[in-house]
Amino acid sequence: MDVEKIFRMKGGVGKTSYSKNSSLQKKASDKVKYITLETIEQVYLTAKPKSLGIADLGCSSGPNTLSNIREIVDAIEEISRRTLQPAPEFRVYLNDLPTNDFNAIFQALPDFYGGLKNGRSNQGAPPSIYIAGYPGTFYGRLFPDNCLHFIYSSYSLHWLSKVPQGLYDETCRSINKGSIYISDNSPPEVPKAYSKQFQEDFSLFLHSRSKELVSGGGMVLILLARKGPNHIDRGNSFFWEILYRSLASLVRKGDVEEEKLDSYDVHFYAPSKEELEDLIKKEGSLKLEGVEMFEIEKDVCDGSATSYGTRVAMTVRAIQESMIAHHFGDAIVDDLFDIYGRMVDEEMAKEDIRAVTSVVVLRKL
């Protein structure tokens, strides 16, 4: 399965789009927004560049994409005013896989620029902002040398470049039957294969970004993670466990072939804090300024009538639909995520399960 050609957040603005189902990601990135803004402010105050290069890696499409940019621009303009400097020119590079719905982002740009102009009569002309889409995998080079001051990536780096090779035997059959990610049923080769793939991918990511950052440039990486050395935790592997169980119930109903489910594995990995620290140290050109771990609380009262499980199901669907539809066919998708939502509600009634997120702050030496 060629991840680069298939994997994407659900495009458009429909009911099942990522655009309409990314409020959990927004909630989490809002929680750490102060870290993002502090980091870019520090970089800006140290380097004081006339032209500030900012990249959002795995930007997806939807309200989060441009609102992040807006907040960063506002923060830097505010600092410029406070320090009596002219605001810099902003070069903004939006990156995601070529399958991402860039059209939806781009079509929102005239209103975005319009919004920047409005209500600015006291503050003079709006800043110069040049926004570009840079499609491609971030596991490799995306931008020229030394062109970025700040790199931001929210909920993208837990996606591996591919399903790990080590999950398949010589006859190309998955050795991870009974699971789609690391689970209690997985043989020990499975976490090893996942961990190895993450090491390769994350090292390549760091190495590529280090070339693209100017000296002193900063990076804030927000990704799903696990709390300790044990791969099987309730926080992240649990949500894949539920997806496996939902698929298995469709096998029992005769809607999915067992063989199809056996051969499905996700290209996801939740690293531990220690793994992240270790890989950053090995890379050598980036200084780790901090790693924080936090849990996203269950939002019991978001004003909607839909259950928490349904909302989680919609979020997972917007993220996974491209891969699932490619492997199992479109027909099962509605049914699958109905079951998924119900299962999440059942489990959450028994126990409050919270996904764990890590925030990594780095500076180029």
Cβ atoms within 10 A of the Cβ of 365, count?
11
Nearest-approach distance from CB 134 to a copy of itself, in angstroms: 5
**Residue of 83, 128, 230, 304 interacting with a copy of itself (CB under 8 A):** 128
**Residue of 49, 136, 166, 216 interacting with a copy of itself (CB under 8 A):** 136
Q: Does residue 45 touch a copy of itself according to CB under 8 A?
A: no
Residues 6+ apart with CB under 8 A from 29: 36, 64, 68, 154, 155, 222
Q: Does residue 93 touch a copy of itself according to CB under 8 A?
A: yes
Q: Report the amino acid identity of residue 74.
A: D
Tell me whether strands 213-224 and 89-96 are parallel, antiparallel or unpaired: unpaired
Q: Does residue 48 touch a copy of itself according to CB under 8 A?
A: no
| Cβ(259)–Cβ(268) below 8 Å | no
Binding string to a copy of itself for residues 9 to 28, with x set by CB under 8 A, is what?
Answer: --x-----------------
CA distance 162 to 159: 8
Q: Report the amino acid identity of residue 50.
A: K
Nearest-approach distance from CB 305 to a copy of itself, in angstroms: 34
Q: Does residue 143 touch a copy of itself according to CB under 8 A?
A: yes
**Residue of 45, 78, 109, 304 interacting with a copy of itself (CB under 8 A):** 109
Total chain residues near a copy of itself (CB under 8 A)? 29
Complex with a copy of itself: residue 132 or 365, whichever CB lies closer: 132
Stretch that binds a copy of itself, among 73-81, 130-138, 218-226, 302-310 (CB under 8 A): 130-138
CA distance 40 to 288: 15
**Tokens matching residue 1:** 């399965």
Q: Does residue 56 touch a copy of itself according to CB under 8 A?
A: no
Cβ atoms within 10 A of the Cβ of 38, count?
14
| Cβ(357)–Cβ(28) below 8 Å | yes
Residues that bind a copy of itself (CB under 8 A): 4-5, 11, 51, 89, 91, 93, 98-103, 106-107, 109-110, 128, 130-136, 141-144
